[in-house]
Structure 1
């Protein structure tokens, strides 16, 4: 089998997007082509977040509805996505949070494990990824390498939690993700590609107030601002964003700004001013 689909889900704030990226990079290390779908509400905490990672031996441009692995950090993930399961699907869940799992699922007390090891609560997703890695038949060394690269902070605690999750899966529960020969390419999000395009276009400054789904562009450009000698500014609101961006444009700088639907509504007067003054944004 050279194609797998994995869904990982939980609450906003559980690190679901990052968990999806780590799973994608696991498959990437094994030579798979990837497509990742992220679904999340515009909430800082609460709500239901999930990511679907499709890994295949050939290029593809969409995810599949049915999944081979369902990884659940809460009950809502089970309830909302059990329709995606096939007869052969593997389900792994946090038994501290999920009280009504599907038949044949494997539960691990991930919240308890993180607490016992003195790790932050969000580290329970590392335990879930560790359990998935073992269930998928992926060697521990591959996960160790990916985690060390992707989680620079609290890496020791995360590795401990991940190892407990890995060891919590029985040998007879393992599937087998084969190593493929496809070249290992960069794993990158759409927002990061937008950021790279702005940099390639000669960006001098980026001004934005965080709002789903544009926040990823702000985070990416802030991370590389020093390397590319650009200004990245997070003002107090969207009105300040568009007016500050006009200041950069008036000074002759190539500027971009980011927002989403609700934020753009707050920028309409500033947009009109930019049009009248013929300042490019």
Structure 2
């Protein structure tokens, strides 16, 4: 069964990420499942950039620690990564800039011969990789042509020149099954938002969530949505709440630092009961931290953000299919319960690229309660959920209020009204808990009968899932993090005698949520250097604890 790993490395400006995407696109067009991880410092030029492309005949969402091929645009790539080359691996390098054992490509000479630009060296190196892997030119050429819309023929001439220099090291078996969509986690989330009925997306660019803004801006004409880039994150959340008040499904995207500025607006949504979808993609903190690296350290912040007490919904995808489903589901939850609904992701998932199902989710239907006239915006109900009406409506005043208010939305400081509205929010939270506490919101894989259980959430589940199956370990992962699906989660742990939690944080966060509900882990395996673990790295850490 084919399982191929390729590392491409060079400096910022060498087009490393784009080279990886084209390589991944070739694999996905051949029917492979593909995952790509991108590593880059927060520099415009310079620094060491690399990406890892893994292709396999089965679904994958993480990378391995060893590489079958290293493509080196500079010497630093060889110096930093050659010790992770597999026993039968090969280094393909720019012979004008790099000294290494392997197969060299005279990039400058080839580019000069065809009067190309320096960036076209990417095309040559990708072509050399495909040649070494034994991928036929007639399969590679259509993908290269599609990915090189500018100076196409010149790019293809350069690619073919590099192709002719090398000889195949192996003949790659084409698995079949047809081309697979190959998109970033941000793009998969965006597709889910569109499927859920997105009307408006508002964001201030902030790594690693910016890809959602860029993707949705690129499709706004064909989808009919509105996309805005205001002057600040404060403007973002307030503009989105205005859209929602007017009856339009609005979503925003940011990272931890940007979300800090949104918290007052979040509390406004909680008090005024305005539906809103918020995508938060985590990166290393505190403060600016590592802007281009990953973390899972904002879970408790998102769970408790905002002043006062009000319900919210938080979900964390680990696969493209979950990203699309949760993108759509977030709108259903936000509008049915009139609460903030969060999609909590991280740099690893947001900027990673995955093959996934091309089928958009079919959103679950829901019905807003029919308003009663004369209309009271905050009319009391047994489940705490008031009928929702958007302006304009003839003869009705639809008032929202950030102050404590009565059922009509009129400001009040009366203690009885204050208590009544707090209890209304508590009943709504209980209704939301009942919606979330279902088996579908807890993912179980590996050996479901094993007494040893690993708990992971979000992108880390992808690092665990393969070796959990290999070693017959139970893997339990909450899809919904708030309200936590307590009963469904405890059912998933039935028969477990040892619990190991893996998380990318320095103090452990999900374990604190579990302990609130009497679930006590035996061991925490934490990583907090901003980098995700290769499958084998985390596997070894878990094996030491067994």
SS in structure 2 opposite 1:267? helix
Distance 1:253 1:5 in 2: 44
| Preserved contact between residue 30 and residue 178 of structure 2 (Cα < 8 Å) | no
SS in structure 2 opposite 1:107? strand
Tell me which residue corresponds to 2:56.
Answer: 56
**When the two structures are superposed, what TM-score results if normalisation uses the length of structure 2?**
0.47
Q: 1:119 to 1:264 in 2, by over 3 A?
A: farther
**1:144-223 matches, cutoff 5 A:** 144-169=141-166, 171=167, 174-223=169-218
Q: 1:277 to 1:14 in 2, by over 3 A?
A: farther
Tell me which residue corresponds to 2:237.
Answer: 242
Tell me which residue corresponds to 1:132.
Answer: 129
Once the two structures are TM-superposed, the CA of residue 39 in structure 1 deviates from its matched residue by 2.4
Q: 1:111 to 1:280 in 2, by over 3 A?
A: farther
Tell me which residue corresponds to 2:275.
Answer: 280
Once the two structures are TM-superposed, the CA of residue 6 in structure 1 deviates from its matched residue by 1.0
| Preserved contact between residue 240 and residue 251 of structure 2 (Cα < 8 Å) | yes
| Preserved contact between residue 41 and residue 48 of structure 2 (Cα < 8 Å) | yes
Tell me which residue corresponds to 2:23.
Answer: 23
Deviations 1:50-77 (A, max 9, x none): 2222222233342211010111122222
Tell me which residue corresponds to 1:10.
Answer: 10
Q: 1:240 to 1:110 in 2, by over 3 A?
A: farther
What is the aligned counterpart of 1:106 among 98, 103, 106? 103
Once the two structures are TM-superposed, the CA of residue 15 in structure 1 deviates from its matched residue by 2.5
Tell me which residue corresponds to 2:228.
Answer: 233
| Preserved contact between residue 10 and residue 16 of structure 1 (Cα < 8 Å) | yes
Distance 2:238 2:216 in 1: 20
| Preserved contact between residue 9 and residue 51 of structure 2 (Cα < 8 Å) | yes
SS in structure 1 opposite 2:82? helix
| Bigger relative contact order (CA 8 A; separation at least 6) | 1
SS in structure 2 opposite 1:235? coil
Q: Which runs of 5+ in 2 are unaligned?
A: 277-546
| Preserved contact between residue 10 and residue 16 of structure 2 (Cα < 8 Å) | yes
Distance 2:230 2:47 in 1: 26
Once the two structures are TM-superposed, the CA of residue 181 in structure 1 deviates from its matched residue by 3.2
SS in structure 1 opposite 2:202? strand
SS in structure 1 opposite 2:64? coil
Tell me which residue corresponds to 2:416.
Answer: none
Q: 1:154 to 1:246 in 2, by over 3 A?
A: farther
Once the two structures are TM-superposed, the CA of residue 111 in structure 1 deviates from its matched residue by 4.5
| Preserved contact between residue 3 and residue 54 of structure 1 (Cα < 8 Å) | yes
Q: Which runs of 5+ in 1 are unaligned?
A: none
Deviations 1:133-154 (A, max 9, x none): 1111111222210022223233
Richer in helix (by share): 1
Deviations 1:138-193 (A, max 9, x none): 11222210022223233233223222222232x3x532212223443222221111
Once the two structures are TM-superposed, the CA of residue 85 in structure 1 deviates from its matched residue by 0.5
Which has the larger displacement, 64-73 or 181-190? 181-190
SS in structure 2 opposite 1:59? coil
SS in structure 1 opposite 2:159? helix
Tell me which residue corresponds to 1:263.
Answer: 258
Q: 1:107 to 1:218 in 2, by over 3 A?
A: same
Tell me which residue corresponds to 2:139.
Answer: 142
Deviations 1:253-280 (A, max 9, x none): 2111111223223434444444454433
SS in structure 1 opposite 2:219? helix
| Preserved contact between residue 68 and residue 89 of structure 1 (Cα < 8 Å) | yes
| Preserved contact between residue 208 and residue 259 of structure 1 (Cα < 8 Å) | yes
SS in structure 2 opposite 1:31? coil
Distance 1:23 1:49 in 2: 16
Query: Does structure 1 residue 119 correspond to structure 2 residue 116?
Result: yes
Q: 1:232 to 1:134 in 2, by over 3 A?
A: same
**When the two structures are superposed, what TM-score results if normalisation uses the length of structure 1?**
0.87
Q: 1:119 to 1:211 in 2, by over 3 A?
A: farther
Q: 1:32 to 1:236 in 2, by over 3 A?
A: same
SS in structure 2 opposite 1:188? strand
